[in-house]
């Protein structure tokens, strides 16, 4: 098999924020690589700067120092190359499902009939045919996240940045949407970077997991997850799943053995 090609390098990125007591260092020289068609999860303690990394990649924030290198070329950010999906679906409530999905293509100047064909095809692929004229408030949380995922994918970004996209959903819907995501990523050949608090989800979906330390944040370790993965539910039955799960709990200092509670 050929060596994986590096798509994006994050090199020595530092970022501090001004706070009442002075500058707070958040990212302390973050360095890791993303390969072509990678699926990488980023895990780390709450507030360690996971969203900040995404915002720097997306061009919503500037790093203080450090470098992003995209396919061998240093860049300021990946604006125009990424699709960013967040925990909150951010659909426009006054627009129908179809109008929400069409928006990006229209802004890009895609001819109307072409945009409509593409939008309908995506809605059908994601099981949302028949809901074109529905408004977001009439859909379940899982359906709204499917619309948000379509809206992200339809722009054909090189890399998907997914910031806890399923964390507000119930477990059953999450499992279902993990499967939808996995299939979509394979069908559309996308590279994914996923921020998640859910170690179970990280192991089930990812080829690699980047574990971050607490603030000021560095990369603690990068783990390759080598499991059979025909679906995220199947992945959970792989005999190595539990080992990876425990290793990553250890990275986050989560106690996995029983401890006596002192009376």
Ligand X SMILES: Nc1ncnc2c1ncn2[C@@H]1O[C@H](COP(=O)(O)OP(=O)(O)OP(=O)(O)O)[C@@H](O)[C@H]1O
Q: Would you tell me which residues interact with ligand X (CB under 6 A)?
A: 17, 26, 44, 46-52
Q: Quote the CA–CA distance of 95 and 203 in Å, as a whole number.
A: 36
Q: Quote the CA–CA distance of 10 and 57 in Å, as a whole number.
A: 9
- By beta-carbon proximity to ligand X, the closer residue of 23 and 183 is 23
Instruction: Name the region of 47 (left: φ>0; alpha: ψ -120 to 50; beta: rest).
Output: left
- By beta-carbon proximity to ligand X, the closer residue of 55 and 100 is 55
Residue 16 CB, nearest approach to ligand X (Å): 9
Chain center to CA of 229: 18
Residue 57 CB, nearest approach to ligand X (Å): 12
Using CA atoms, how far residue 43 sits from 31, 110, 192, 262, in Å, is: 14, 37, 14, 31
Residue 79 CB, nearest approach to ligand X (Å): 18
- By beta-carbon proximity to ligand X, the closer residue of 88 and 240 is 88
Sheet holding 22-35: strands in order across? 22-35, 6-19, 65-70, 73-75
DSSP, res 234: H
Residue 43 CB, nearest approach to ligand X (Å): 9
- By beta-carbon proximity to ligand X, the closer residue of 100 and 145 is 145
Residue 42 CB, nearest approach to ligand X (Å): 9
CA dihedral angle for residue 246, residue 248, residue 252, residue 253, rounded to 10 degrees: 30
Task: Tell me which residue of 202, 200, 144, 142 sits closest to 176, measured CA to CA.
Answer: 142
- By beta-carbon proximity to ligand X, the closer residue of 47 and 130 is 47
- By beta-carbon proximity to ligand X, the closer residue of 2 and 46 is 46
The phi, psi pair for 173, rounded to 5°, reads: -65, -35
Sequence-separated (6 or more) residues with CB below 8 Å from residue 109: none
- By beta-carbon proximity to ligand X, the closer residue of 44 and 157 is 44
Residue 24 CB, nearest approach to ligand X (Å): 7
- Return the beta strands (E) in the chain as ranges: 6-19, 22-35, 39-43, 65-70, 73-75, 82-86, 159-163, 191-195, 208-212, 219-224
Residue 208 CB, nearest approach to ligand X (Å): 18
């Amino acid at each position: 098999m050929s060596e994986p090609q590096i798509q994006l390098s994050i090199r020595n990125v530092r970022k501090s924020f001004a706070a009442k007591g002075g500058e707070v260092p958040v990212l302390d020289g973050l360095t890791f690589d993303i390969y072509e068609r990678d699926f990488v999860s980023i895990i780390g303690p709450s507030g360690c700067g996971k969203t900040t990394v995404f915002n720097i990649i997306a061009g919503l924030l500037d790093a203080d120092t450090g470098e992003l290198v995209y396919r061998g070329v240093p860049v300021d950010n990946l604006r125009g190359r990424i699709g960013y999906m967040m925990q909150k679906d951010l659909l426009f409530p006054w627009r129908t499902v179809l109008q929400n999905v069409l928006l990006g293509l229209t802004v890009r100047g895609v001819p109307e009939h072409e945009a409509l064909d593409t939008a309908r095809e995506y809605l059908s692929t994601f099981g949302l045919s028949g809901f074109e004229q529905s408004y977001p408030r009439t859909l379940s949380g899982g359906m709204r996240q499917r619309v948000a995922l379509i809206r992200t994918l339809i722009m054909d970004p090189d890399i998907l940045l997914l910031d806890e996209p399923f964390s507000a959903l119930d477990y059953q819907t999450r499992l279902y949407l993990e499967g939808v995501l996995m299939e979509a990523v394979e069908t559309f050949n996308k590279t994914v970077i996923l921020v998640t608090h859910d170690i179970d989800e990280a192991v089930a979906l990812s080829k690699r997991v980047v574990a971050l330390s607490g603030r000021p944040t560095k990369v603690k370790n990068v783990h390759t997850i080598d499991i059979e993965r025909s679906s995220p539910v199947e992945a959970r039955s792989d005999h190595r799943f539990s080992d990876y799960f425990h290793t990553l709990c250890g990275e986050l200092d989560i106690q996995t053995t029983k401890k006596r509670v002192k009376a």
